[in-house]
Amino acid sequence: MNSEALQACKVYRQLLKAVRKHVGKEDYKKHFVEYVTQEFQKNCHLSDVVYIQQKIKLARDYTLLLNSVHHHMDLLFSYNIAIDRSDEMKRTLGKSAASVGLQLAVPYHS
C-alpha cells in the first residue's frame, strides 16, 4: 500500500470513530456512517492525487470539528454554564466507578 492509501485508511478510521462516538450508533443515525463509507468507497478508485488529498483533508478537518465541538460541550458542562448538571454528574460518577472496576446501580422506576 502506498502512503496516500495508508493516510486515507487512517483518516477513515478516525472519522468513523468520531462519528460513532459523537453522533451515535443508533439505527436511526446509521445514515451518517453509511455516508462516510460511501464517500470513501466512491473516491478510492480515483487517480487525481490533488482531489484525493483535498478529500482527505476535508475528512480530517471534519473529524477535528466533531471532536472539538464535543470537547467544548464537555468543558461547558464542567464549568456549569447554565445547564443541567445531573447527566454530567452521572457520567462522571460512572467513569469514576468504572476506573476501579465497579458499575453504578441502575435506579428502578415504577
Q: Let me know if residue 108 belongs to a domain.
A: no
> What is the residue-level pLDDT of the chain in tens, covering all 110 positions?
577 778 888 888 898 899 888 888 788 888 888 888 888 888 777 667 777 788 889 889 999 999 999 899 888 877 766 566 677 778 888 888 888 888 877 776 65
Q: Let me know if residue 106 belongs to a domain.
A: no
SS3 percent helix, strand, coil of the chain, rounded to 5, is 75, 0, 25
Q: Print the domain residue range for 68.
A: 1-100
pTM as predicted: 0.62
Q: Let me know if residue 110 belongs to a domain.
A: no
Distance between CA atoms of 25 and 27, rounded to whole angstroms? Answer: 7
Q: Let me know if residue 23 belongs to a domain.
A: yes
Number of domains observed in the structure of the chain = 1
Q: Let me know if residue 95 belongs to a domain.
A: yes
